[in-house]
């Protein structure tokens, strides 16, 4: 598996990582998927303290406890559960980040996190205090590097200008090309990498995804999704699978270091790995995909 440097850091991540959110809570199956991923060249695992109320971090930590040195481990912080209150509350304070990282370390069974990410962010946060928390954790060796996970251009710009982030995780796929307008050029100029989540658009951008296209997605109607799926399938049938096209599309941008599709089965994982190992899209293939799909624009938080 090809690896790419994450921003200006010393982290080199596999071009396809494993988004761990969809692993589920069945230990044996989730562990099998993680270990298979590592055996097949994936070194980048992404989780969050939010997933399954921390259970996801526990499963990941248990699975990699004897292979920690083989893994670039990423997790996230910012969503706080308050006892007696339903759901999660947003908390990007320094005190909470320093407290939450200890719990993530415990669940992950490790004494350091390779990439610690703010799981959201707003302009109403005390951004300087949030950055200070991450910088302190980095100096103390608790984390190696930090980034943010956000689809808000205004928040991303603030962290690019004011912090030492090495990455931005954001949704990016053939069906969600919004980062191309301003985010990807901004990150490329700053030497910061994009980690593309949702590259398969909830399974729509796969060979068997036509049935999943029978519903709206972002600004696509059901009819538009079905037509786009048919167009992409007709383009790729002779040369590559739609999954290959979908995973290679984000990776064609120089600012993208990795795509992180999820996998809830070994079969899904193996299909994704084969797709990530396929040849990059040609100029003609990229042009065709862009002709078929919508460029997209951010309309909120700009």
Q: Which positions are catalytic? A: 51
Block residue for tokens 């309309």: 299
Task: Give 217's DSSP letter.
Answer: B
CA 153 remoteness from chain centre: 16
The radius of gyration of the chain's CA atoms, rounded to the nearest angstrom, is: 19
Q: Which among 169, 129, 165 has a CA at the least distance from the CA of 256?
A: 169
3-state secondary structure of 282: coil
**Is the distance from CB of 273 to CB of 17 less than 8 angstroms?**
no
Q: Is 208 exposed, middle or buried (0-12, 13-18, 19+ CB in 10 A)?
A: exposed
Contact 109, 61 (CB under 8 A): yes
Judge whether 2 and 12 are in contact, CB under 8 Å: no
57, 83, 93, 118, 145 from 77: Cα distances, Å? 12, 17, 10, 5, 14
């Amino acid at each position: 598996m090809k690896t790419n440097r994450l921003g200006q850091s010393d982290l080199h991540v596999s071009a396809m990582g494993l988004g761990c959110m969809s692993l589920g809570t069945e230990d044996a199956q989730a562990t099998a998927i993680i270990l298979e991923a590592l055996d097949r060249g994936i070194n980048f695992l992404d989780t969050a303290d939010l997933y399954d109320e921390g259970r996801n971090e526990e499963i990941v930590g248990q699975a990699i406890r004897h292979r920690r040195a083989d893994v670039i481990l990423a997790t996230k912080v910012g969503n706080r559960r308050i006892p007696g209150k339903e759901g999660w509350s947003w908390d990007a304070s320094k005190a909470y980040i320093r407290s939450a990282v200890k719990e993530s370390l415990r669940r992950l069974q490790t004494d350091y996190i390779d990439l610690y990410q703010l799981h959201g962010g707003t302009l109403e946060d005390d951004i300087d205090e949030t950055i200070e928390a991450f910088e302190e954790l980095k100096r103390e060796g608790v984390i190696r590097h930090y980034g943010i996970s956000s689809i808000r251009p205004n928040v991303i710009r603030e962290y690019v200008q004011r912090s030492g982030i090495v990455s931005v995780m954001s949704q990016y796929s053939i069906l969600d090309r919004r980062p191309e307008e301003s985010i990807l050029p901004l990150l490329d100029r700053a030497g910061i990498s994009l980690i593309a989540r949702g590259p398969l658009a909830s399974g729509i951008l796969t060979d068997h995804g036509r049935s999943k296209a029978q519903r709206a997605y972002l600004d696509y109607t059901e009819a538009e999704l079905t037509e786009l799926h048919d167009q992409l399938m007709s383009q790729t049938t002779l040369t590559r699978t739609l999954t290959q096209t979908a995973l290679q599309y984000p990776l064609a941008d120089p600012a993208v270091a990795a795509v992180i599709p999820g996998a809830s089965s070994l079969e899904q994982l193996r299909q994704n790995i084969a797709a990530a190992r396929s040849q990059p899209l040609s100029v003609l293939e990229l042009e065709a995909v862009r002709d078929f799909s919508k460029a997209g624009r951010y309309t909120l938080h700009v």
